[in-house]
Amino acid sequence: MSVISYRQALHDALRSEMLRDEDVFLIGEEIGLFEGSYKITAGMLAEFGPKRVRDTPIAEEGFTGAAIGAAMLGLRPVVEIMTINFSLLALDQIVNHAAKIYGMFGGQARVPLVIRTPGGGGQQLGATHSQNIELYYAFVPGMKVVAPSSPADAKALMLAAIRDDDPVLVLENLALYNTIGEVPDHDEPAEIGKAAITRHGADVTVVAYSRMAAVALQVAEHLEGENIDVEVVDLRSLRPLDRDTIIASVKKTSCAVVLEDDWLTYGIGAEIAATISDGAFDWLDAPVRRVAMAEVPLPYAKSLETAALPSADDAITAIRETLDAVTRRRPI
């Protein structure tokens, strides 16, 4: 094991795969000479050269489309889109081409494409640079979407994404880049579509992903002091979604709280709540609670931005209220 940052784990996974497979190459804005806006690709240009680390113009639709074509012809491109907000400029290429080519052409061509991009607020970047719009891609059949919350998962899921024969969007989070954790020294990929129970508990299930999965662990540790035993399910993958792990956990605890960084309405949490209703309704002792961002474009002012984003305190309140509802419903 090595103790490294989320940022370093991503870098190490990219470098490892480029050393392992000459078909892997990187493409995106300022990833070469500038070494990436968040320095994930630091040192890559010097080591692998401009043929495999391709700087592009500010033209997301163009370089994403070029990467799709390269993938169809047998290469394994890793596209860096500076933030998920800018992926909207390539939405047609991702949704109407990358996700659909394999199905539309009867399996004659695959698109082993990775799109890695950070999202999330809290950095005072304004409403158009702080969005959590992973739902747009998790909604689309033909896409895979993974959302690592720890350095270990950042490495393992990136390895899995690059080796996958389908298009995979790797959702990073700006607030996680500097977080530190233990990462295995081996290059063992994760299983895309498999959630992880990162903390076992008996009283309530908390389902989360990306930054909020890390927050969920902090909340669980805090509530342990109040004798509240929280089980944390880290989704890791948004599409495919590991419904079985979610349902099994809720059947065990009989309560569920869902944490997400995106907006409440039509969000990932709505799908999780529906999954619990379909698969574990008879085991529920209280309604599923959801904690999400305020339904506003994220403000720039720090105080307003902080107020709009979901917090550990919001999660703690939701868990306490859920367990209070259970107590009130149970006969004395």
* CA–CA separation, 266 and 211 (whole Å): 19
Count of other CB atoms within 10 angstroms of residue 119 = 24
Here the tokens at position 34 are 């500038």
Query: Locate tokens 């739902």: which residue?
Result: 135
DSSP β-bridge partners for residue 171: 117
pLDDT value of residue 332: 47
Specify the pTM: 0.95
pLDDT at 176: 97
| Measured CA distances, 194 to 130, 137, 238, 239, 252 (Å) | 27, 18, 10, 10, 18
pLDDT at 330: 60
For 113, phi then psi, to 5°, come to -115, 140
Burial class of 62 by CB neighbour count within 10 A (0 to 12, 13 to 18, 19+): middle
64 touches 90 (CB < 8 A): yes
Instruction: Give the pLDDT of the chain (332 residues) as one tens digit per residue.
Output: 999 999 999 999 999 999 999 999 999 999 999 999 999 999 999 999 999 999 999 999 999 999 999 999 999 999 999 999 999 999 999 999 999 999 999 999 999 999 999 999 999 999 999 999 999 999 999 999 999 999 999 999 999 999 999 999 999 999 999 999 999 999 999 999 999 999 999 999 999 999 999 999 999 999 999 999 999 999 999 999 999 999 999 999 999 999 999 999 999 999 999 999 999 999 999 999 999 999 999 999 999 999 999 999 999 999 999 999 888 766 54
Give me the active site residues, please.
60, 129
Residue-wise pLDDT for 262-302, tens only, equals 999 999 999 999 999 999 999 999 999 999 999 999 999 99
Query: For residue 201, what are the contacts with CB-CB under 8 A and spacing of at least 6?
Result: 220, 229, 230, 231, 232, 253
Distance, first Cα to last Cα, the chain: 50
